[in-house]
Structure 1
């Protein structure tokens, strides 16, 4: 029996796949629990259209992420914090601070969890911060930390 899967099923296939399963498993489990529909011509054609649309959507997201990464590469932000004479900050600059200033000054909205800071910035200087925009796509933001007395 051919079944078009409506969601990922372990050891069977992924959403949109047309799989061949035993009649009982298809009728009594996949179709009954709405994890799949009968694999007739209409359902197979519909599944293929949805797969193509999904691939296009993913590619558009990827292209937007590449454009955002290029914009981040060209961006430099300045953060002024209180610091001692030796250049150490009294506080620290966190990924949350970076994303807030990036959105406020440059209009670039990024989730703070996408900012890859191993530890908060605690010294004055110029730092390259990596920001993940998509799987495998990273933009390098230049952060200039200035101290004030």
Structure 2
């Protein structure tokens, strides 16, 4: 089906181009979204008569989008979600979620303007594209964490996996120190005299010291 584009469409063409597309794509998306008109003789003539006005409107909306994009591009928004210790989310973060946190941050963005390469199902920092205009696309970053404190750590460059590994290493170190203290006490008392009660007393003495 041939249509005349009313705005720039990625991989299709520029405003005013007459292109051939699949009928379903035209009827289900391009035409109802007012992004194109069927390329009939009457519609082509109508477009030519309105071309200057359409180009002026497009330029105006593009300028507004560029101004917003300059403020929005690179912005980071925090999304708090429940997740397992390994960092896997109980669900996923969607463009709707991104739209809500961006709006809460002072940027009115429709979820339909936001796209993600793959579903976000892990804690961490994730990028999403925001199409403010057919010719203006910017990137925002979602900081998905279980708490604001965790989000701050992630923003500083630490991943949840690194934090978990660090906590595990600290726990193992504390256990190793405890065994070292018990071993040292055993050497001091000797195997025969080192009863369980003496062991407990030695460890208590070590803690007080």
Instruction: Place the TM-score, normalised by the shorter chain, in its bin.
Output: 0.5 to 0.7
Q: In the TM superposition, what are the counterparts of 1:56-135 in structure 2 within 5 Å?
A: 56-104=56-104, 106-135=105-134
1:10 to 37, 40, 57: 40
Q: Which has the higher contact order (CA 8 A, sep 6+)?
A: 1
Unaligned stretches of 5+ residues in structure 1 = 1-6, 18-46
Contact 1:8–1:14 (Cα < 8 Å) also in 2:
no
| TM-score of the aligned structures, taking structure 2 as reference length | 0.47
List structure 1 runs of 4+ shifted beyond 4 angstroms.
Answer: none
- Shift of residue 118 of structure 1? 3.3
What SS does the aligned partner of 2:52 have? helix
SS in 1 for 2:46: coil
Whole-angstrom distance in 1 between the partners of 2:110 and 2:137: 13
Q: TM-score scaled by structure 1?
A: 0.64
Structure 1 pair 134/14, CA: closer, same or farther in 2 (3 Å)?
farther
Q: Structure 2 CA distance, aligned partners of 1:87 and 1:126?
A: 12
2:159 corresponds to: none
Q: Which residue of 1 aligns with 2:55?
A: 55
Bigger CA radius of gyration: 2
- The change in CA–CA distance for 1:145 and 1:98 in structure 2 (over 3 A counts) is same
- The Cα RMSD (Å) is 2.2
> Structure 1 or 2: larger helix share?
2
* Contact map agreement 2:77 2:101 (CA 8 A) in 1: yes
> Number of aligned pairs?
110
Judged with a 3 Å threshold, the aligned counterparts in structure 2 of structure 1 residues 14 and 107 are, in CA distance, closer, same or farther, namely farther
Note if contact 1:102-1:109 (Cα within 8 Å) is conserved in structure 2: yes
Please state how far the C-alpha of 1:54 moved relative to its aligned partner: 3.0
SS in structure 2 of the partner of residue 92 of structure 1: strand
Say if 1:81 and 1:9 are closer, same or farther in 2 by CA, change over 3 A: closer
